[in-house]
């Protein structure tokens, strides 16, 4: 967690709940993955509602709107994808325990989810992860790139997501605060370390 107040609140909830199987790191995610986590040590990374680099899709009219500006920085850049791939467990054989570590990203912004799909497809260290359970009724494939698919569906056990969990961003999404997010859909990318 980049914001110290949120990291402190999360650490407080862990301590009050007497949970001993979790840790909270405050700071930049790329630096944390590189510095504090051994290579190949993670079974899964979950990214919930990452902030998009801009709140609207680039202008298609060529009128000098956001499309004319260079892409803004955002957390899920190539450096973070490199660090995440290094931290994820490599494949060790068949079956759920022998499979490669997974990266699951959930967003409420269709445009940003598409941008992330393209970044994952270009990166080369990720492949589509098998789903742990059938996708929920009503799930739809939005599009695919490089063998990776973007799915519109609520996150859940099918993609390794703890359905009973809730975060600050889940609560914001439920309130409909952002004018740039989908009101009733979430977009899921579920990939595994390929190399």
Q: What is the pLDDT of residues 108-124, one digit of tens each?
A: 889 889 999 999 999 99
- Residue 178: phi, psi to the nearest 5? -80, 130
Residue located via tokens 């009724």 = 137
Closest listed residue to residue 166, CA positions, set 175, 51, 177, 193: 175
What's the CA gap between 92 and 89, in Å, rounded? 8
- Consecutive sets of 10 residues in the chain, 195 residues long: mean pLDDT of each? 85 88 85 92 89 58 44 77 95 65 92 93 94 88 96 91 60 54 79 90
46 Cβ neighbours under 8 A, 6+ residues apart:
104, 106, 160, 161
Q: Which pLDDT score is estimated for 144?
A: 96
Q: What is the pLDDT of residues 133-148, one digit of tens each?
A: 888 888 999 999 999 9
Q: Which pLDDT score is estimated for 69?
A: 41
């Amino acid at each position: 967690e980049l914001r110290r107040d949120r990291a402190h609140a999360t650490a407080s909830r862990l301590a009050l709940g007497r949970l001993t199987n979790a840790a909270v790191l405050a700071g930049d995610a790329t630096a944390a993955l590189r510095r504090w986590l051994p290579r190949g040590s993670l079974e899964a990374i979950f990214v919930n509602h990452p902030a998009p680099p801009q709140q609207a899709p680039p202008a298609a009219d060529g009128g000098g709107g956001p499309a004319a500006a260079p892409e803004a920085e955002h957390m899920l850049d190539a450096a973070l994808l490199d660090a995440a791939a290094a931290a994820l467990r490599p494949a060790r054989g068949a079956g759920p325990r022998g499979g490669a570590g997974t990266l699951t990203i959930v967003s409420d912004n269709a445009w940003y989810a598409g941008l992330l799909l393209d970044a994952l497809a270009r990166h080369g260290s990720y492949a589509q992860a098998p789903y742990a359970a059938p996708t929920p009724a009503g799930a739809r494939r939005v599009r695919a790139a490089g063998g990776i698919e973007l799915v519109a569906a609520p996150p859940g056990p099918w993609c390794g997501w703890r359905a009973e969990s809730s975060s600050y961003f889940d609560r914001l999404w439920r309130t409909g605060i952002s004018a740039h997010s989908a009101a009733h859909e979430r977009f899921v990318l579920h990939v595994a370390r390929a190399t």
